[in-house]
Amino acid sequence: MRLAGKSALITGAAQGIGAAIAKKFASEGAVVFICDLQAEEGEKSAAEIKASGGEAHFVTLNVADEVSWQAAYAEVVRVSGRLDILVNNAGINIREPIEEMRVESFDKMLSVNVKGPFIGIKHAIPLLRKSGGGCIINMSSICGLVGHKFTTEAYTITKGALTLMTKTVGVRYAKDNIRCNSIHPSTVYTPLVEQMFKDPEKKAQRFGEIPLGRLASADDVASAALYLASDEASFLNGVALPVDGGLTAY
Ligand SMILES: NC(=O)c1ccc[n+]([C@@H]2O[C@H](COP(=O)([O-])OP(=O)(O)OC[C@H]3O[C@@H](n4cnc5c(N)ncnc54)[C@H](O)[C@@H]3O)[C@@H](O)[C@H]2O)c1
């Protein structure tokens, strides 16, 4: 068990990549806190983990709201007494190019994708320090590393901010044995993507840009998160890890 005895809070874990991370962490012995706006889906994810012998708790969280974060951490401490791992995974994408995007939409993206992880890290630091150190993982994107012609400016701006938030936190809090790393997936195969691929041109574009010739799975991303959270990655700090089949390598 690579995460035995660890307590992990994962945002946006009701579905998709976050749910895959929660499942993987629990299967490696972590107590996982599935934090999300969606209670029904979140409870379902937690129930699936419990049914296969893991320990999972659903906690309602709006990452854009500081009071909501404080309540979530209070619940983590009440239930498990400690925090070892924070995964800032929740994120949104309002797909409008810069010349069409309303400023309100841009503000919303900043609130969830940037302010959310900022507040989460702010309140995680004292708890991680109390645990003798720990690990923060931020879910960025290939769009946090390079400009991507199929993605809008707003998304790229928020994911780029997360890339450097990761590095600066990693540098400042290394003295407390707190590591902070980011993950940068290319397109992950989800129901939403399946819908988009009904357009054969879009499908060809997305497959064509990846040297390994396939899309990432949620499990590919969860495996990278598990590695970063485990002791095997104890000397990895401030790293921006692409999970992209080589897309950003050229
Ligand atoms: N899917 C991809 O192709 C892809 C690629 C690169 C990066 N990412 C990033 O990975 C992360 C997860 O992506 P996904 O595809 O699993 O997304 P998803 O939309 O399937 O799931 C996101 C989850 O976040 C939750 N959420 C949204 N706003 C929230 C808020 N304010 N507070 C709490 N929870 C909130 C949603 O309820 C949902 O359960 C995101 O940060 C996304 O930007 C995704």
Per residue in 3-55, pLDDT (tens digit) is: 999 999 999 999 999 999 999 999 999 999 999 999 999 999 999 999 999 99
Atom of ligand 1 nearest to the CA of 17: 16
* Domain 7-188+218-249 homologous superfamily, CATH: NAD(P)-binding Rossmann-like Domain (3.40.50.720)
pLDDT of residue 208: 93
Sheet containing strand 31-36, edge to edge, reads: 55-60, 31-36, 7-11, 85-88, 134-139, 178-185, 240-243
Ligand 1 centre and the CA of 13: distance in Å? 8
Pairing status of strand 178-185 against strand 85-88: unpaired
173 catalytic? Reply is no
Pairwise CA distance, residues 159 & 142, whole Å: 8
Share of the chain above pLDDT 90, in %: 94
Ligand 1 centre and the CA of 106: distance in Å? 16
pLDDT of residue 193: 85
pLDDT of residue 196: 85
Share of the chain above pLDDT 70, in %: 100
3-state secondary structure of 147: coil
pTM of the model: 0.98
Atom of ligand 1 nearest to the CA of 155: 43
Ligand 1 centre and the CA of 246: distance in Å? 22
How many alpha carbons lie under 13 Å from residue 92 in its C-beta half-sphere? 17
Q: Whose CA is nearest to atom 32 of ligand 1?
A: 62
